[in-house]
């Protein structure tokens, strides 16, 4: 298009010259300068035009409102353990607010007609949670995302298998029993290849899949952590889960604790507020806001596993 305009301008100059009928002095001093100026302006205008055949990168606006191919939420599994089975844990292990977190998360999806499984207290069993996740994965399309929430207690103990770099293993305290990191990874690995967005508002949350070392988790936070300590250390569970695309927002680092009260977990309450302010917030945008708002003693962690794309990072977090 640019060259066509240039050729047209040159042809116009030639035609003007013919019109001048040999009066070249008039042409050079009166007509030609205006023609050159017009040519320069046209060229400058063309230089800023993007050809229709060139695709533009995803641009995140200030409100994180982005439309792409991975905005669609296929399903939701929301689990909250206000109390746990004393037959296994020795007490009911009250976790005030976990039921609120799970209820809100489930409601956001259900009112948007997203297939939702809401697990609460005695129904919030590990097998039920992971089975539901796999059932939804079997039905989800390649550009759809399955949202998972676990709110409740998390725990850690000395490594029993000799495969933890820090000598500790982390787990999710479902109602019936603790599901340790390797078991969580095994259950998720058994699902058909799918895209998962996992929110874990528990203590020691970043380590509950144990797919990547803690520094690696920080390293993938949009390239902002360039310290040599953040060199990726891929652990066995990452290979197990490589057929998925997984984004996890964890409520704290694996050696830290998550806090909250009867109105919900600290991270979950911030997620509620962010969603209320911007219903179209993206997954990446949600994490950015959490980093700004959450207390220093409880910083969220962004975890990526498998073939995560920008379409997934910048797709809508919630329906």
Percent of the chain with pLDDT over 90: 53
Prediction pTM value: 0.74
Contacts of 146 (CB under 8 A, 6+ apart): 73, 74, 75, 76, 77, 133, 136, 137, 140, 194, 195, 196, 197
- Whole-angstrom CA distances from 91 to 124, 170, 175, 258 are 16, 20, 11, 20
Q: What is the mean pLDDT of residues 294-305?
A: 88
Does 206 or 113 have the greater pLDDT score?
Answer: 113
Q: How far is Cα 212 from Cα 206, in angstroms, rounded to an integer?
A: 9
State whether residue 264 is helix, strand or coil.
strand
168-173/154-158 β-pairing: antiparallel
Flag whether pLDDT at 192 surpasses 60: yes
Q: What are the residue ranges spanned by the domains of the chain?
A: 2-47, 73-313
Burial degree of 129 (CB within 10 A; 0-12, 13-18, 19+)? buried
Flag whether pLDDT at 285 surpasses 70: yes
Is-contact 95 81, C-beta < 8 A? yes
Q: How far is Cα 168 from Cα 280, in angstroms, rounded to an integer?
A: 38
Q: How far is Cα 87 from Cα 37, in angstroms, rounded to an integer?
A: 87
Q: What is the mean pLDDT of residues 194-199?
A: 96
Query: CA dihedral defined by 145, 149, 155, 158, rounded to 10 degrees?
Result: -10
Please report the pLDDT score of residue 159 as a whole number.
84
Give, to the nearest 10 degrees, the angle between helix 266-277 and helix 98-110: 30
Q: For residue 116, give the H/E element and its range.
A: strand 116-120
pLDDT averaged over the chain? 79
Is-contact 24 60, C-beta < 8 A? no
Please report the pLDDT score of residue 8 as a whole number.
57
- Whole-angstrom CA distances from 46 to 12, 42, 66, 93, 293 are 18, 6, 28, 68, 44
Rounded to a whole number of angstroms, the CA Rg of the chain reads 28
Q: What is the mean pLDDT of residues 94-110?
A: 96
Q: What is the mean pLDDT of residues 95-123?
A: 96
Q: How far is Cα 171 from Cα 186, in angstroms, rounded to an integer?
A: 13
| Residue 211 confidence class, pLDDT cut points 50, 70, 90 | low
Total residue length of the chain: 319
Does 160 or 138 have the greater pLDDT score?
Answer: 138
Nearest alpha-carbon partner for 79 in 99, 97, 96, 65:
99
| Residue 51 confidence class, pLDDT cut points 50, 70, 90 | very low
Q: How far is Cα 214 from Cα 233, in angstroms, rounded to an integer?
A: 9
Flag whether pLDDT at 227 surpasses 60: no
Q: What is the mean pLDDT of residues 166-185?
A: 92
Fold of the CATH domain 73-313:
Rossmann fold (3.40.50)
């Amino acid at each position: 298009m640019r060259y066509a305009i240039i050729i047209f301008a040159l042809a116009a100059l030639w035609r003007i010259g013919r019109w001048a009928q040999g009066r070249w002095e008039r042409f050079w001093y009166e007509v030609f300068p205006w023609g050159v100026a017009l040519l320069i302006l046209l060229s400058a205008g063309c230089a800023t035009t993007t050809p229709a055949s060139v695709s533009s990168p995803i641009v995140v606006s200030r409100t994180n409102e982005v439309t792409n191919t991975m905005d669609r939420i296929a399903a939701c599994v929301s689990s909250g353990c206000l109390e746990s089975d004393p037959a296994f844990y020795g007490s009911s292990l009250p976790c005030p607010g976990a039921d609120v977190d799970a209820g809100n998360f489930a409601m956001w999806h259900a009112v948007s007609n997203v297939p939702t499984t809401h697990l609460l207290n005695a129904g919030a069993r590990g097998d039920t949670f992971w089975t539901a996740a796999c059932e939804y994965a079997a039905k989800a399309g390649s550009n759809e995302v399955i949202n998972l929430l676990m709110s409740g207690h998390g725990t850690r103990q000395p490594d029993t298998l000799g495969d933890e770099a820090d000598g500790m293993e982390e787990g999710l305290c479902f109602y019936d029993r603790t599901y340790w990191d390797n078991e969580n990874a095994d259950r998720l690995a058994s699902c058909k290849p799918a895209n998962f967005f996992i929110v874990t508002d528990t203590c020691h949350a970043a380590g509950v899949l144990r797919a990547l070392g803690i520094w690696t988790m920080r390293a993938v936070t949009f390239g902002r952590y360039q310290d040599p300590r953040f060199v990726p250390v891929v652990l066995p569970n990452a290979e197990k889960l490589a057929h998925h695309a997984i984004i996890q927002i964890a409520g704290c680092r694996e050696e830290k604790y998550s806090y909250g009260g009867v109105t919900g977990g600290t991270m979950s309450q911030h997620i509620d507020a962010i969603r209320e302010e911007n219903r179209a917030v993206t997954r990446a945008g949600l994490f950015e806001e959490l980093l700004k708002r959450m207390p220093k003693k409880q910083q969220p962690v962004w975890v990526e596993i498998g073939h995560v794309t920008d379409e997934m990072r910048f797709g809508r977090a919630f329906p």
